[in-house]
Amino acid sequence: MKTTYEQLPVLNLGRLESNPAERDAFIAELRKTAYDLGFFYVTGHGIDQTLIDETLAAARQFFALPESDKMAIEMVNSQHFRGYNRQGNEFTRGQRDWREQVDIGAEREALAVVPADQPWMRLRGPNQWPANLPSYKDTILRYQAAAAGLAIRLIKTFAIALGQPENIFEAIYTPDSHYLLKIIRYPGRDATESEQGVGAHKDGGFVTVLLQDVQKGLEVEHDGGWISAPPIPGTFVINVGEILEMASSGFLLANVHRVVTPPAGAHRLSVAFFFNAQLNATVPVLKLPAELAAQSRGATADPLNPLFRENGKNQLKSRLRSHPDVAQRHHADLLTNTEYAPKK
């Protein structure tokens, strides 16, 4: 039976290292939470608080830079969709998101030649780094590695919760997971044109690991309304992505969420890590145990945002729609393709 929630549950990942009965109880709680809500806080995650503090400090340092320094790594300069965006430059379902942010992906070399039938491989490439923050790159890459380790631990636990071998997904995220880190600052209502910090959406990929600073704003859809997910010290917010929803035929819920603009005079800082499959991966459909298969709802069908089992196609579609300036400058040849073009 589906549970009604007034707040996100807090799950202690450390229970996996306890006795078998406690481990089984945790997996059952994770399975139910992911089925009902698709969102939860996690403690016992193993990421050192010093690294968390350094990452938030690096985020504050970046946003405190002069505008010219931030604009020196503006995303529109990168064909790989990496770098800084001023507020109002990213879109969700055609509407402006009022946040400034820097997007940092897996640090890899671009392909010398991108196959014509694999245009999503254009997303692979190097990041842009601020010249005046010499320690920034090292801090962010260390945090990415730690967040990726947590994401993989969660993915393996989700696999067990679905009655699968824990490494069932390993072949599609190893060795080149296409992950993405977004460092985000949401200005207060006095500095925006709407209350849409980021519009209602689902996340692609396997899981999202969200680090929040002190200002609330995240809201999760539930029973026709919204649950607030304020920061809780020592935790991350975890949510199921569309890869797990598709692979589980909708048993795991990739839930809709949004960020509401902070009050006037305040701002919100967050660091969102999206762990994804390889660009050339195809999402499998798992054969679930009968009792779970009977509860599967099927993956969401949204005519405005069709999902493909080819991960690269989903990733490229998302980036082209979210960043029309980058799309027009570097990928205009793809914009007439009906699979990638925004739906009206």
Rg (CA), the chain: 19
Sign of the dihedral through C-alpha 127, 49, 20, 207:
negative
Q: How far is CA 229 from CA 15, 208, 238, 264, in A?
A: 23, 14, 11, 20
pLDDT at 305: 75
pLDDT at 301: 72
pLDDT at 246: 96
The helix/strand/coil state of 263 is coil
* CA–CA gap between residue 193 and residue 26 (Å, rounded): 43
Are residues 205 and 172 in contact, defined by beta-carbon separation less than 8 angstroms?
Answer: no
pLDDT at 342: 58
DSSP 8-state assignment for residue 120? G
Residue 175: asked if its preceding bond is cis (omega within 30°), the reply is yes
pLDDT at 1: 64
Q: Tokens representing 178?
A: 């296409």
Single-letter amino acid code for the residue at 219 = E
pLDDT at 339: 75
Q: Is 230 left (phi over 0), alpha (psi -120 to 50) or beta?
A: beta
Please list, in sequence order, all residues whose beta carbon lies within 8 angstroms of the beta carbon of residue 333, skipping any fewer than 6 positions away: none
Please list, in sequence order, all residues whose beta carbon lies within 8 angstroms of the beta carbon of residue 305, skipping any fewer than 6 positions away: 93, 343
CATH ID of 10-334, from 2.60.120.330, 3.40.50.980, 1.20.120.1200, 3.40.50.1970: 2.60.120.330
pLDDT at 89: 86
Q: What is the pTM of this model?
A: 0.96
* pLDDT tens sequence across 132-172: 999 999 999 999 999 999 999 999 999 999 999 999 999 99
Q: How many CA atoms lie within 13 A of 287 on its CB side?
A: 0
Are residues 62 and 124 in contact, defined by beta-carbon separation less than 8 angstroms?
Answer: no
pLDDT at 207: 98
The pLDDT tens digits along the chain (344 residues) read 678 899 999 999 999 999 999 999 999 999 999 999 999 999 999 999 999 999 999 999 999 999 999 999 999 999 999 999 999 888 888 889 999 999 999 999 999 999 999 999 999 999 999 999 999 999 999 999 999 999 999 999 999 999 999 999 999 999 999 999 999 999 999 999 999 999 999 999 999 999 999 999 999 999 999 999 999 999 999 999 999 999 999 999 999 999 999 999 999 999 999 999 999 999 999 999 999 999 999 988 777 778 899 999 999 999 999 999 999 999 999 998 867 765 54
pLDDT at 117: 94
* CA–CA gap between residue 339 and residue 329 (Å, rounded): 19
Parse the chain into domains and list their residue ranges. Answer: 10-334
pLDDT at 343: 53
DSSP 8-state assignment for residue 270? E
Q: Tokens representing 142?
A: 């260390």
DSSP 8-state assignment for residue 3? P
pLDDT at 119: 96
* pLDDT tens sequence across 3-33: 889 999 999 999 999 999 999 999 999 999 9
Q: How far is CA 266 from CA 182, 226, 263, in A?
A: 20, 21, 6
Q: How far is CA 32 from CA 3, 10, 56, 229, 316, in A?
A: 9, 13, 32, 19, 32
Are residues 162 and 251 in contact, defined by beta-carbon separation less than 8 angstroms?
Answer: yes
* CA–CA gap between residue 195 and residue 200 (Å, rounded): 12
DSSP 8-state assignment for residue 109? P
